[in-house]
Each structure stands twice: as structure tokens, then as C-alpha cells.
Structure 1
Amino acid sequence: MTDTTDRNTPATDTTATDTTAGRTPATSAPDAGMPAVRGARLPSLTGMRWWAALAVFVLHTVVFLPVYPFYGSDTYWTIAKAVPMQVGAAGVTFFFVLSGFIMLWTRRPGDTPRAFIWRRVKKIYPTHLVAVATLVLVLPVPLGKLVTWLPTTALVQTWWPNWTSLGGLNIPAWSLCSEMLFYLTFPFLVPLIERIADRLLPMAIGVMFALIVALHTCYYLFADGYKGTGNMFGARMAVAADGTLPTTTREYGYNADPAFFAHDFLGYADHGYWLSYYFPLSRLPEFFLGVLVARLVISGRWRNTRLWWPLAALAVSFAATWWVPSNFSMSVLILLPTAAVIATACVRDATGHRGLNATGPMVWLGDISYAFYLMQYPVMVIVVKYLLAGHAVGFTGWLCAVALCFVLSLVAAGLVYEFVDKPITRRPRAKRRRKDAAPVPERARCPTLSPGSSHRRWPQR
């Protein structure tokens, strides 16, 4: 996951990633007479980012809080079965699709690849480096052994299936490797997507989804690895006793044990699992699926403002992940419903509909969701090492540890967002505001929507 929305002007600067600045207050009535402008603020999508980050947090509390004797007990495994890996994976999938959607929605005409990529680097790396530095300070990381920290710091650790680098340092940062590939390819491939005729956009989305299904089917059929439908984290932990992976201890959690850093080469990850979940090229089509869906909305061919049915479809598809092989449950089943939720939320925002996700508290939580995502694991490591180590903790104690990690992660995320993210990403705004105040070209406008009735006026194409 990464911070994927944009807080700049409608002229589509992508330095920052918040969609809410200049938003219409939640109490204001929709103005059916104003056309929705490409690049308009999307507060509901900002608020939705929080739910995705929270889903990842819930999964990580089950995996990265090894408190004994609760950890490994029957109660623990009951919870682990109810919170399988696809809970957190769904949040990551949401961010990948949302990232593609927002990058096109806020694209600045005439922007250069170099300027675009540099803005994204300035957004991603500072918070990432804060999380890495925190872990280096509290873990026995052998800095002389580059493989334990350099791939993660440089965000290249998921390009090969080696647990020594793949699981090193801040584990949630793996998704940033995919995000960096997204941003490196977007400026060069998006002109091709812009050339697709509006009437062919549904077909293009279908072809992209078919490509994703075919890719994962090939992984399932031909790649070595786990083929079952069980919890992938549970399966991984179950093989830890044979020495393939280090076990958790009372002082250090998963992949934070000194035994992990002591290995020169820990071994290869499950190839099928790595290809379907971690490998950046496998996740690239999800990003461009989001790009295509953004074009669908901009073209006026997505008209739905009723959020209940995309959410219902997402719930049903997510429930189905319990009964399909793991490499399909990570993202494939929920991709199209996720895209439908994002498209509908965008149309609602652009037409003045306001709901829970567009309220001030939810928008703030969405603002800090990127920092929350990256700081949660360092916080859990600190809590395990300095508060839980050496103590016997049961289910109630685990819940208290979860609550403590949640509060500390929230505080840490708020501080990082306020003192690291905002000063870096908002510095150039004053100069851009005058430039971006120029009238928006007619071709950059979306169709006029009438949210108060069933009538919508769409441009003739």
C-alpha cells in the first residue's frame, strides 16, 4: 500500500496524495448545475483509504504480536482462521487500484515523466525512511550485512523470492516496490491508454481483467508452491519449525528475531505465492485497471451514484476468497468490485454527494493512512520487545496489546504526517496555485451530473 490520492489543485499535480483540500463541506447541497471537473477533490476516496489501512492493521495484529501463551493457542488459531491473509491483501489491492485511478484523475496536461516521478519519490520515501530508521534503532540489524536492510530501504526487495531481503526490516513496505514500478511506467504508458476510444473502454477493462486471471491461472498451474485455500500466514508459520523460517520468540516477533538477521541466505519463498502477491510485474495490471476505470468515469460512461450495490458485490466476492486457491484470493476475486466502489465514490464526490467517508474525521484518518500503514509494524516490534517480552499474556492481554498498538500507531502516523509528509509535499503549492488557477480546458471536464434525480446530462460522443 501507498498514499495514492492527491491534495493539489484540480490542474492535477501529484506531489502529494490527498484528495480533500478545497472540498465541499459535508453539509452543503449538491449543485447539479456545476460540471464535475477532472481532478476535483475526492474526500470520500480519501476516507476510504483509512478502511483499507485498518484492514492491514487487523491482519498484522494476528501475525506480528507474538504474546505467550496466547500466541499459538487454540484461541489464537481460531482468530487466525477468521482473519486470513486476504483481509490485509484486500486493503493492498484497494490501494493498487486506487493508485492507478488517482494518477489519471489528477494527471497534469504537459507534465514530464521526470517531474512526475520525482514528485512521487518525494511523497513515498521520507515516511518510508522514518519507519526504516525506527526499526534500525530498536532491532539488532547488522548494518555491515547489506542484504538485511539495503533492498528494503531501496524498495527493491520484492523483485526476487529471497526471504533474507523480502522479509527484512519493515515488512509492510513490500507494497512500495510495486508502487514505484507503477509510477515509473505510468508517464510512458498512459498516453497509449488515453488514445483508447471511449466506446472501447469497457472492453479494455475486460481484457485487462482477463489478463490478470490468465496470469494467476498460470501461476497456479505451473509455479511451485502452496496450492490450498487455507490461511497463507498460517501455512507459513506452520513450516517455521523445520528451519526454513525463524520462529518467533518471547522478545522478538516475526522476522525481527536476531536469528533472522544472522542468516546470510534464509532461503527462497514459495514461488507461486511470491509471483501472485509480491512480484511487482504481477501487480502492475491492477494499477492500470484503475487507470482504465478512471478513464471510464472521465468519459461519462460510469453513471452510478448508488454505493450499496458495489459494496454488496465486494462483500460477496471477498467472502468467496475463503473457497478459492490462495493466489486467487489475494486480489483477483475482488478486483472488479473494488474498481466499481472507487468509480462510484468518485462520481458521488464529483456530484456533491457526501457520506460518512467524506466527513472531517474520516478525511483526516485517510490523510494519515499511509504513515499509519508504514509505522504500525515498527510500533508492534517496540511493544513486543519492551512491554510484552517476559510476560505471560492471554487473550485479554493480547486485546490490550492490540489497542495499545493501534493508539501508538495512530499517534506516530499523525506526527509523521504533520512533520514529515506535509512540509515536504506541500512546499511547492503556493507557486503552483497561481499557475493552476487558469480555466480548465473543456476537454478536461467530466459530464454534468444531477445527483438529486435520475436525470443525468452526458456529453455526446
Structure 2
Amino acid sequence: MTTTGIELTDGSGSESVVARADRERPALPSLTGARWWAACAVFLVHALVFLPVYPFQKSELFRTIHQWIPMQLGAAGVTFFFVLSGFIIYWSFRPGNSVRGFYRRRVLKIYPTHVLGAAAFIVAAGVPLHRLVVWAPNLLLIHTWVPKWTTVGGLNVPSWSLAAEVLFYLSFPLALPLIRRIPTRRLLLATAVILLFVVALHTAYYLWVPGPKGTANVFVPRLVPGDTSPYYELHSSPAWFAQPDIPVSPSYWLSYTFPASRLPEFYLGVLAARMVLEGRWRNTRLAIPLLVLALSYAATWVVPVNYKMSALVLAPMTAVVATFGARDMHGIKGITSHPRLVWLGNVTFAFYLVQLPVMVVITRYLIGGRQFGVLGWAGFAVLSLVVSLALGALLYHCVDVPIMRRFAGRRTTRQAG
């Protein structure tokens, strides 16, 4: 690494392969469109948990639905985004890109939308601003590094994943020279080593860190007494943010929200991008990777919580991301590369960050103080989806795109000899 740029040779005798891969990087419409399906999985779980529709959420029907649509569905969507993040970051980085320019683009990409989402949540939920611990760690995206901040300072709950993304981005320029030194022929072996490390890490959490050891789903609605819908879901209630201390399970925190635990997923995406670019991943058929992913997801019902959220689905999810990338590399069109899905994929980030504030407003003014069954919940879920998508599109086109065009232009630097 130089002080102005990053040297993009791998030192393994495969410079010609790497150089050719650096030139041949087409757009990724299939992967962009696939983001929407992952976002829908996350949204569905959030709608089940964060829309406090009573007495529906206290019914046997809800318990049945939640058994079939548990947290690991949304968690699988997050795993997809983490692997995809590594894939996209490596794919888009070019010889001559400066480290400073890379960091500037990453900050401009995530922080404006994040701050607007946090501000919307603060206004909607009436967050007490005099308690810095409630909002400052979240605004700075450092809240998931401290167990209790994960809940007390969680604020706009979905933004927890951005704290992990910040670590991913900070580490990438530092790790890139090492990543590029892996010989092309050993990329699959390096991927297997990371996967084994993830399994070992979560096994250590299971064996030696306090927390739930059973297979039951721990991410369920926090219910209050009565059959009348409350005006706030508990995580957005003023009473929640007034609490001086909210403990969190150590093993759950380490397994799911602790940024360093999710770092391997990002680098699996980085290695997947290298394999696609350098011809080590040639598969373009989605059937087998998706089938293995479905089987792995089904297996999450019978494993402890530590393994539910990412470890079990990580290998097939990486294969799915790599296969989508290979399809784009070879110009293969499919459902996810349709222009409408590509547009939906582009607005996914903003959609992800505004969905909870939207649900808070809908709960406060339309749900609270009333009673609804499953059809009521479904109606409010659809309303939340439509409004979140509209606001997400507005943020994407009026905030994200103009900022990136105006301030995030690429600057090239001369490589050090």
C-alpha cells in the first residue's frame, strides 16, 4: 500500500489474470435486483415483530405464522447483504483508486441516508435527546460494539447492520494487499478456511459464552398486557428509552450484532468476486446453489441460536452471490436483472432504513388504541411496504444520487513503482 493508492498486484505469479480481471468488470444487474428479494425477507420479519397489532400478535395463528417465518429469514437477508457488500466493494475497486477517495465514497454512501433515517425515527418515536446514550452511539454507528448500547442506543433498529459495514469498509484497504496475494488457484481453499473459522467461532460462543442454548427463536414481539393495540412497539416506546439499563444476551450479541463476528462474511464476498473475475467460479446456474441454500435454511430450525443467524447459510449464500455475479459477468439475463427489479434493488438501502420509522408512525396514528386480526395486520404491513418504498425512492433519487454525483467522483492516482 502506498500513501496515495493501493497496489493491485497479487504477488502470486498471476498478474496477467488479475490485470485482465481488473479491466473486465461489467455492471451487476442480477445482483442489484436480487437485493430487493433479500430486503423483502427482512421487511416481512420486521412487519411481524414491529407492528404491534393486537389481538393478532397474541393469537395462536400468529404463533403458527412466526414458527414458519422466524427471525432467521430476515437474518438470511442480512447475510446476503454482508456477502454482497464484499463482492461489490472488490468488484468496484479499480487500480489507481485512492484510499482517501474510497473512504469518502463510503461515508457519502451510507451516512446521509442513515442520519435522515435516524432523525425520522427520533421524531416519530419521541426519543429523549437529553440522554446521549440513547441516540449518539447509533448516530455514530458504534452502538453494536458495546452489548448494552445495542439495545439502549439501538434507536432505528435496522441500522445495526451499518455498524458492521463501517468495520468492513475501514478494513478493506488494509486487507486488500493480503487478499490480492492469494494465488488464484487457492481462492476456493481460502474461502473454505474462512467458512471453517466461522463455524469454530460460533461453536466457541455456544460452548463458552452465556446465552440461550436451545433451538427456539429468541426474536419475538415484546408484548404488553391487554388485547388493545399499543401506541408504540416496545422498542420504540418512550418508556424503553427511559430505562437506565437494558441487558442483552452475550452470546446473542456476539453471534449476531457484534461487527467483528460478521467481518468474515464480507471477505467471503471479496473472495467470491475474485473467483468470478479470475475464472475460478464459472457456474451460472442458480438451481443448485438455491436448493442448497433452502436446505441450509430449513436446517436452522433444529440448531442452536448461535448457528441460526448466519453460520449455517453462509456457504450456500456465498455460492448464490457468486453465481449471480457469474451470470452478470457472462451477460446472462434473468428475472432479477429486469429493469424494474434493478430499480428496486437500487432503492433498497434507503427503503431498509426508513421502514421502522414508517411503522412507528403507522402504529402511533392508525393502530394504537384499536383491535385488529390477521387481515388488519396484513393491511398495515402492505401500507408500511408502500410508504417505505415511496420514501426510500425519494431518498435515493433526491439525496443519495445527487450527493454521489456531486461529491463522490472517482479520483485516480499514479501507482507507486
TM score, norm. by length of structure 2 = 0.90
In structure 1, the residue matched to 2:349 is 370
In structure 1, the residue matched to 2:385 is 406
Partner Cα separation in structure 2 for residue 166 and residue 212 of structure 1: 28
Note if 1:390 corresponds to 2:376: no
Name stretches of at least 5 consecutive residues in structure 1 with no aligned partner: 1-11, 13-33, 242-247, 437-461
Identity of aligned residues (%): 52
Note if 1:294 corresponds to 2:273: yes
State the shift of 1:237 in Å: 3.9
Give 1:284-363 correspondences, 5 Å limit. Answer: 284-363=263-342
Partner Cα separation in structure 1 for residue 271 and residue 335 of structure 2: 27
SS in 2 for 1:92: helix
Deviations 1:83-103 (A, max 9, x none): 111010000000000111111
In structure 2, the residue matched to 1:278 is 257
In structure 2, the residue matched to 1:263 is 243
State the shift of 1:164 in Å: 6.7
In 1, are the aligned partners of 2:135 and 2:153 still within 8 Å (CA)? no
In 2, are the aligned partners of 1:55 and 1:87 still within 8 Å (CA)? yes
- Residue of 174, 193, 198 corresponding to 2:179: 193
Greater relative contact order structure (CA < 8 Å, 6+ sep): 2
Task: Give the AA of the match of 2:51.
Answer: L
In 1, are the aligned partners of 2:133 and 2:153 still within 8 Å (CA)? no
- Residue of 127, 142, 148 corresponding to 1:162: 148
1:163–1:184 distance in 2 versus 1, CA, 3 Å = closer
Deviations 1:179-224 (A, max 9, x none): 0000000001011010111111111111111111100000000010
SS in 1 for 2:130: coil
Partner Cα separation in structure 2 for residue 423 and residue 35 of structure 1: 30
Partner Cα separation in structure 2 for residue 290 and residue 52 of structure 1: 16
How many residues align structurally? Answer: 393
1:219–1:38 distance in 2 versus 1, CA, 3 Å = farther
In 2, are the aligned partners of 1:38 and 1:105 still within 8 Å (CA)? no
- Residue of 138, 145, 158 corresponding to 2:124: 138
In structure 1, the residue matched to 2:230 is 250
In 2, are the aligned partners of 1:161 and 1:274 still within 8 Å (CA)? yes
In structure 2, the residue matched to 1:21 is none
In structure 2, the residue matched to 1:440 is none
Name stretches of at least 5 consecutive residues in structure 2 with no aligned partner: 1-7, 9-19
State the shift of 1:165 in Å: 4.6
Partner Cα separation in structure 1 for residue 150 and residue 134 of structure 2: 6
SS in 2 for 1:374: helix
Q: Which has the higher mean CA deviation after the structures are superposed, 339-348 or 275-284?
A: 339-348
1:166–1:111 distance in 2 versus 1, CA, 3 Å = farther
SS in 2 for 1:269: coil
In 1, are the aligned partners of 2:30 and 2:324 still within 8 Å (CA)? yes
SS in 2 for 1:162: helix
State the shift of 1:79 in Å: 1.4
In structure 1, the residue matched to 2:137 is 151
Deviations 1:342-386 (A, max 9, x none): 111111111111001001110010010101111111110010001
SS in 2 for 1:306: coil
Task: Give the AA of the match of 2:38.
Answer: A
In structure 2, the residue matched to 1:41 is 27
1:74–1:167 distance in 2 versus 1, CA, 3 Å = farther
Task: Give the AA of the match of 1:123.
Answer: K
State the shift of 1:58 in Å: 0.4
Note if 1:109 corresponds to 2:119: no
Note if 1:232 corresponds to 2:212: no
State the shift of 1:432 in Å: 5.1
Please tell me the root mean square deviation across aligned C-alpha atoms, in Å. Answer: 2.2
In 2, are the aligned partners of 1:166 and 1:174 still within 8 Å (CA)? no
Partner Cα separation in structure 2 for residue 397 and residue 99 of structure 1: 36
Task: Give the AA of the match of 2:161.
Answer: S
Deviations 1:239-276 (A, max 9, x none): x89xxxxxx9610013111111111222x200110000
1:99–1:90 distance in 2 versus 1, CA, 3 Å = same
Structure 1 residue ranges (4+ consecutive) displaced by more than 6 angstroms after TM superposition: none
Task: Give the AA of the match of 2:142.
Answer: V
SS in 1 for 2:93: coil
In structure 1, the residue matched to 2:204 is 218
- Residue of 168, 172, 183 corresponding to 1:182: 168
State the shift of 1:38 in Å: 3.6
State the shift of 1:68 in Å: 1.4
In structure 1, the residue matched to 2:52 is 66
1:329–1:159 distance in 2 versus 1, CA, 3 Å = same
1:214–1:394 distance in 2 versus 1, CA, 3 Å = same
SS in 2 for 1:142: coil
SS in 2 for 1:427: helix
Partner Cα separation in structure 2 for residue 36 and residue 199 of structure 1: 17
In 2, are the aligned partners of 1:97 and 1:289 still within 8 Å (CA)? yes
SS in 1 for 2:56: coil
In 1, are the aligned partners of 2:215 and 2:304 still within 8 Å (CA)? yes
TM score, norm. by length of structure 1 = 0.82
SS in 2 for 1:338: helix
1:303–1:321 distance in 2 versus 1, CA, 3 Å = same
